[in-house]
Structure 1
Amino acid sequence: MSVISIIENTIKTNVENIRPPVEVRNQLDIGFSFENNVLFLFEIRPNFMDETIIMNIEFAKARYYKSQEIWKVYWKRANGNWELYQTPEVSTIDAFFKIVKEDKYGCFFG
């Protein structure tokens, strides 16, 4: 199994652990994209004005820097800009998900 496959499997497992209960997933769910060593987490929800429009709203980002073997952690401000989190880097993708799940400063889930 390649390193990318291992990382993607780890991401899938961690995303599954932060998804809301099945009965509310049609109103709010969590998804991800992972490409070029950048992971985005996003909410999946219907638009409040038109429920037929499904929106993906990014709220967390991790970028892997191979030369340093670290993941830098970012949160998205209300103005749409990405900002380094209070704990700006971690050594594993699991540590990133731990930070997101704890949401110590209310940056990811409000």
Structure 2
Amino acid sequence: MAFSEFEVKQIERAAAAFLEARRPPAGVRHQVDLQVRINEHSVEVVELRPHHSDLSKAVESPTAKADYVDEAQGWRVYWMASDLAWHAYEPEPQVASIDAFFALVNADETACFFG
């Protein structure tokens, strides 16, 4: 089951606060930027950069993902490794809220999300 309208609004508010804190300055966003995507049961943080041979196209690199798990009443946290597969974020594989997810990603204490 997809997120309810209320849940989407909660996620959008948390995402806006995260992007406000973490996005690069406006002057360099044409070179690197961040975006948050809301899917049916998950939220992804994606880094955007221009394609090396066609600057009009963007290269998207997912960096962090949270899947909502009904049974656990929480969010499972993942990071994208160099093998281009999602891996459980071992220091804290689950958080209770979407705000906690964004705080974890923003802190990036293990440099898994942003290197």
Asked if these proteins are the same fold (TM beyond 0.5), I'd say yes
In structure 2, the gaps of 5 or more residues are none
Q: Secondary structure at the match of 2:93?
A: strand
TM-score scaled to structure 2, two decimals? Answer: 0.87
2:110 matched to 1:105? yes
Corresponding position of 1:74: 78
Corresponding position of 2:28: 24
The structure in which a higher percent of residues are strand is 1
Q: Secondary structure at the match of 1:59?
A: strand
One of 47, 50, 58 as aligned partner of 2:54:
50
Aligned-partner Cα distance in 1 for 2:113–2:47: 10
In structure 1, the gaps of 5 or more residues are none
Q: CA RMSD in A?
A: 1.5
TM-score scaled to structure 1, two decimals? Answer: 0.90
Q: Secondary structure at the match of 1:98?
A: helix
2:109 matched to 1:89? no
Aligned-partner Cα distance in 2 for 1:50–1:31: 20
Corresponding position of 2:41: 37
Q: Secondary structure at the match of 1:5?
A: helix
Aligned residues: 110
> What is the aligned-residue identity percentage?
34
Letter in 2 for 1:105: T
Letter in 2 for 1:51: L
Letter in 1 for 2:36: F
